[in-house]
Amino acid sequence: MKNNLGLIVMDSIKEVGLKVEKELNRFLKTNENYIIPTKIIRFANGEGKAEILQTVRDKEIYILTDINNYSITYNMFGFENHYSPDNHYQDVKRIILAMCGHAKKITVVMPFLYQSRQHRRKSRESLDCAHALQELKRMNVDTIITFDVHDPDIINAIPLGKLENFYANNNILEAIVEEHDITSSNTIIISPDFGAMERARYFAEMLQVEVGVFYKRRDLSKIVNGKNPVIEHAYMGADVKNKNAIVVDDMIASGGSSVEVAENLKERGANKIFIASTFCLFTEGIDFIKKAYKEKIFDKVYTTNLSYLPKEIKKERLIKVVDCSKDLAEVIYYGYMNKSMAPLLDNKTRFFEELEKIRTRKKGK
């Protein structure tokens, strides 16, 4: 049995990292401390450095980070600054540099891929995500593991590299089915735009229900917060009247578009409305979402713990946070044991088995 696994869990993902270590001990039938202690030091002018406090020589290292965790702070010239994705990414590079080339293999586990929203270039724009992937490759990172990447085609940025993209769709679906009566006749899956249509089709296939999509008509003459504002959501699809609608997307930024889609569905006579997203950022705070929930515009948000959420948000009744620590540990386990990732990438059979268990359990209550 191999015994050279090491986890470097950045401060941004400590809670999940501890759960991952526990699950790895279960998978490997061990009782080891796989987490390697590290330290990130910031100087008064904002510069920083990383220290690794235990040997990594000949170990297979998995670096876990959450680039959206803005609760991490540092002082610069007497001011308190919150971490941005740039800071988190820079710390990952510092950790790699601090290994001094002694690790046998390096894998970066970044559930929300750094700069994945800037995945393609239009005219004179920076191509940040592709550059970051290429940079990690040049730093001898063997594999990059991510979840529900904004555009899976970004893998083409590193044609000789390994980018493994997994999904939390099944976890979210199971949570919805566990809590609600979801059948093929009373439910419809809704894509908020054409970009999320592939994900919506997957949800619809798993639940064997119909699917609908909204077309976002944008005002191309204006730019607000870096985007052309949406002026209309035009719906195309089956009738939603008296049906439970599950609105699916890879992430919720401010939540504005999701609420607008939910309002439109309510006006069309939808019954319960659920918003399902792997990542909920709530970039404008939670008050807007809380207001929409109190006004019964939607019934619940389903998301994962793969990206930071403040404790006060997780306590709200309007949200269900699905724990994906076990899935993350399983991905690491398969990689460490050099097993094929195919069962994890295509796990429809596993979902149908779990779905049957849930429905059988609910019938027995």
Q: How many CB atoms lie within 10 A of CB 66?
A: 28
Task: pLDDT band for 361, please (50, 70, 90 cuts).
Answer: confident
Among the listed residues 302, 293, 294, 297, the one whose alpha carbon sits nearest the alpha carbon of residue 320: 302
Give the residue carrying structure tokens 């063997």: 142
Among the listed residues 127, 92, 129, 88, the one whose alpha carbon sits nearest the alpha carbon of residue 107: 92
Among the listed residues 305, 318, 312, the one whose alpha carbon sits nearest the alpha carbon of residue 279: 305
The model's pLDDT over 192-249, given as tens digits with 9 standing for 90+, comes to 888 888 889 999 999 999 999 988 777 666 776 666 676 677 899 999 999 999 999 8
338's tokens: 């050099």
Q: How many CB atoms lie within 10 A of CB 333?
A: 18
- What number is the average pLDDT over the span 171-191? 93
Q: Are 281 and 257 in contact (CB under 8 A)?
A: no
Map out the domains of the chain with their CATH numbers. 5-167+325-339 (3.40.50.2020), 169-322 (3.40.50.2020)
**Higher-scoring residue by pLDDT: 222, 108:** 108
The pLDDT score that the predictor gives to residue 336 is 97
The pLDDT score that the predictor gives to residue 124 is 86
The pLDDT score that the predictor gives to residue 234 is 83
If you ran DSSP here, which 8-state letter would residue 288 be given? H
Partners of 42 in beta bridges: 48
- What number is the average pLDDT over the span 129-138? 96
Residue 14's identity, in one-letter code, is K
The pLDDT score that the predictor gives to residue 297 is 95
Residue 364 in this model has a pLDDT that exceeds 80: no
Buried b / exposed e over 3-14, threshold 16 CB at 10 Å, is: eebbbbbbbbbe
**Higher-scoring residue by pLDDT: 224, 77:** 77
The pLDDT score that the predictor gives to residue 360 is 83
3-state secondary structure of 289: helix
For residue 353, give the H/E element and its range: helix 348-364
The pLDDT score that the predictor gives to residue 227 is 64
The pLDDT score that the predictor gives to residue 253 is 87
Rounded to the nearest 5°, which phi and psi values hold at 154? -65, -20
Buried b / exposed e over 225-247, threshold 16 CB at 10 Å, is: eeeeebeebebeeeebeebbbbb
* Total-model pTM: 0.92
- What number is the average pLDDT over the span 45-62? 97
